[in-house]
């Protein structure tokens, strides 16, 4: 893959993430304004539970498909890899679903919601996890446009049905049932497409042992990631109640989502590309991709953190209500700042994956998760939801630093520190301008954001944050697109 195609694919995947972001910004105010704080807290805890189960049920197998099928040429090997993995994940998901259904009564009491909500969630996870396996096939084969189209279909379907269900008065039940319908339809569409284009093969599990040997160590990594990013919702609910989960969740979701949106194209594209280059002993290519991926991510992430910090109360007021904003506006900048090292870690951690040292990555993630969980037990009772945000920042920073130190021993790539300083300086000036404007309301806030982007972009060009060659590459890609 050429640098030009890589940059273009980042743009394509970024467009898909933009659709997803718009979907989140459409559904968030509808859910919070029409369902209320406590219902939103229950909704959040249900989705968090789905994330917890995925850390176990998927066994890290979607990553194995990307890692091993990226360079595979034998069609029969590809077919067996896909359908063996899909069958295994499907069976494990059913086991977890039956567990949820059997214990739906005590679980619903803990979440302060109706029993049927847990039962619907149990069916959702079967198709959701199957979809994750199917979508990883497109990543492995670098069919990025197909991946984006199916994902956009799912996102738009969810937005439309969830909004319709809530507006028609079906409440949280309608929202969850809408999720289920779209997951089933998407699963059938993607599965049918894969059968048509690649074919079906009765699973023989020929490489399943090889897949699992790579992925077993990633399970603690995934589980630890869930502990760091999601367990705080459980602990807030335990110590403070579902109401405070509702206050905390919107600020956390916005802070995490914005930065995740920026790093997602790199997390999506890099595993298959870097694995192929590393297997072909093209280590210099690996270093170049890592260097520019980190630079492009920071180009947008640094000003985003500054912008989210200065506009946190305005953004929360627009997307939720003044009640949410008053309670959670300090959470947003802390979480956004914590996501900056987490986003950088998502790029640097690719080194651990391609050198097949996933056990080390899992160990570092476990330590970070234990640190996060322990600090939450101390900080949440003392500082409330602000304490949960602070522990997230600490855990993410630790994980980034430890991953960076270890990965540098194997593959060390150049980091443009001058650019980082220039970006921070330009972001600070942009922030002073936005603070001076003091925008209130939707239109003034949007205007302030647009002007802030223009100021930051102008300053970066003026400070020569990018070389002429890099600017020319951007122009060519945009022109061709």
User: Quick one: which of 203, 207, 309 has its CA closest to 251?
Assistant: 309
In contact, 97 and 123? CB cutoff 8 Å: yes
Binning pLDDT at 50, 70 and 90, where does residue 176 land? confident
Q: Please check the confidence at residue 214 and state whether its pLDDT lies above 90.
A: no
User: Quick one: which of 339, 354, 194 has its CA closest to 289?
Assistant: 354
User: Quick one: which of 392, 397, 110 has its CA closest to 230?
Assistant: 392
Sign, CA torsion 113/117/122/124: negative
Among 201-205, 291-295, 411-415, which is the least confidently predicted range? 201-205
pLDDT in tens, 308-331: 999 999 988 887 777 778 888 889
| pLDDT at res. 162 | 83
Range 16-21, long-range pairs (CB < 8 A, 24+ positions): 16/147, 16/148, 16/151, 16/152, 17/261, 17/264, 17/265, 18/261, 19/152, 19/155, 19/156, 20/151, 20/152, 20/155, 20/261, 21/257, 21/258, 21/261
Arithmetic mean of pLDDT, 295-303: 92
Cα 430 to Cα 456: distance, rounded to the nearest angstrom: 6
User: Quick one: which of 140, 143, 130 has its CA closest to 192?
Assistant: 130
Q: Please check the confidence at residue 295 and state whether its pLDDT lies above 60.
A: yes
The residue ranges of every structural domain in the chain are 1-205, 217-415
In contact, 161 and 178? CB cutoff 8 Å: yes
Contacts of 1 (CB under 8 A, 6+ apart): 9, 142, 273
User: Quick one: which of 236, 254, 264 has its CA closest to 309?
Assistant: 254
| pLDDT at res. 441 | 86
| pLDDT at res. 14 | 60
Binning pLDDT at 50, 70 and 90, where does residue 67 land? confident
Which of 15-19, 54-58, 111-115 tops mean pLDDT? Answer: 111-115
In contact, 265 and 9? CB cutoff 8 Å: yes
Cα 135 to Cα 133: distance, rounded to the nearest angstrom: 6
In contact, 380 and 388? CB cutoff 8 Å: yes
| Coil/strand/helix, residue 337 | helix
What is the share, in percent, of the chain residues with pLDDT greater than 70? 86
Helix ranges (DSSP H) in 311-441: 312-319, 322-328, 331-348, 350-354, 358-383, 385-407, 417-437
Q: Please check the confidence at residue 478 and state whether its pLDDT lies above 60.
A: no
Q: Please check the confidence at residue 2 and state whether its pLDDT lies above 70.
A: no
Torsion over CA of 270, 473, 337 and 418, rounded to 10 degrees? 110
Residue bearing tokens 């989140």: 24
User: Quick one: which of 71, 239, 59, 78 has its CA closest to 142?
Assistant: 71
Binning pLDDT at 50, 70 and 90, where does residue 380 land? very high
| pLDDT at res. 217 | 63
Burial class (CB in 10 A: 0-12, 13-18, 19+), 51: middle
Burial class (CB in 10 A: 0-12, 13-18, 19+), 129: buried
């Amino acid at each position: 893959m050429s640098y030009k195609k890589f940059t273009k694919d980042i743009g394509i995947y970024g467009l898909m993430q933009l659709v997803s972001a718009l979907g989140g910004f459409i559904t968030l105010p509808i859910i919070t304004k029409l369902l209320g704080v406590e219902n939103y807290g229950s909704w959040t805890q249900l989705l968090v539970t789905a994330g917890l189960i995925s850390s176990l049920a998927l066994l890290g197998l979607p990553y194995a498909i990307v890692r091993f099928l990226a360079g595979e040429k034998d069609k029969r090997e590809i077919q067996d890899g896909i359908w063996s993995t899909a069958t295994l994940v499907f069976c494990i998901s059913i086991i977890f679903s039956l567990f949820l259904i059997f214990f739906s009564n005590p679980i619903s009491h803990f979440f302060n919601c109706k029993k049927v909500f847990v039962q619907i969630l149990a069916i959702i996870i079967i198709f959701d996890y199957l979809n994750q396996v199917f979508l990883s096939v497109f990543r492995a084969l670098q069919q990025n446009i197909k991946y984006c189209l199916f994902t956009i279909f799912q996102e738009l379907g969810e937005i439309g049905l969830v909004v319709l269900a809530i507006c028609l008065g079906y409440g949280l039940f309608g929202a969850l049932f809408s999720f289920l319908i779209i997951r089933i339809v998407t699963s059938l569409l993607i599965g049918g497409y894969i059968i048509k284009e690649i074919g079906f093969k009765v699973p023989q599990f020929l490489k399943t042992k090889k897949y699992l040997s790579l992925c077993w160590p990633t399970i603690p990594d995934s589980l630890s990631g869930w502990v760091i990013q999601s367990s705080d919702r459980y602990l807030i609910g335990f110590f403070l109640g579902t109401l405070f989960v509702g206050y905390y969740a919107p600020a956390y979701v916005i802070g995490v989502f914005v930065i995740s949106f920026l790093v997602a194209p790199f997390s999506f594209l890099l595993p298959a590309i870097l694995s192929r280059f590393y297997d072909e002993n093209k280590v210099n290519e690996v270093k170049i991709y890592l260097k520019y991926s980190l630079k492009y991510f920071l180009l947008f992430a640094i000003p985003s953190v500054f912008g989210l910090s200065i506009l946190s109360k305005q953004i929360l007021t627009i997307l939720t209500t003044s009640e949410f904003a008053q309670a959670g506006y300090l959470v947003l900048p802390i979480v956004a700042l914590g996501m900056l090292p987490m986003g950088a870690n998502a790029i640097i951690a690719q080194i651990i994956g391609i050198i097949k040292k996933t056990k080390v990555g899992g160990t570092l993630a476990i330590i970070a998760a234990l640190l996060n969980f322990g600090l939450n037990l101390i900080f949440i009772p003392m500082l409330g939801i602000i304490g949960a945000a602070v522990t997230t920042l600490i855990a993410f920073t630790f994980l980034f630093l430890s991953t960076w130190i270890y990965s540098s021993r194997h593959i060390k790539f150049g980091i443009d520190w001058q650019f980082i300083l220039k970006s921070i300086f330009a972001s600070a000036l942009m922030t002073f301008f936005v603070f001076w404007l003091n925008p209130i309301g939707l239109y003034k806030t949007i205007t302030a954001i647009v002007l802030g982007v223009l100021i930051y972009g102008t300053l970066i060009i003026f400070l020569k944050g990018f070389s002429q060659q890099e600017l020319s590459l951007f122009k060519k890609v945009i022109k061709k697109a």
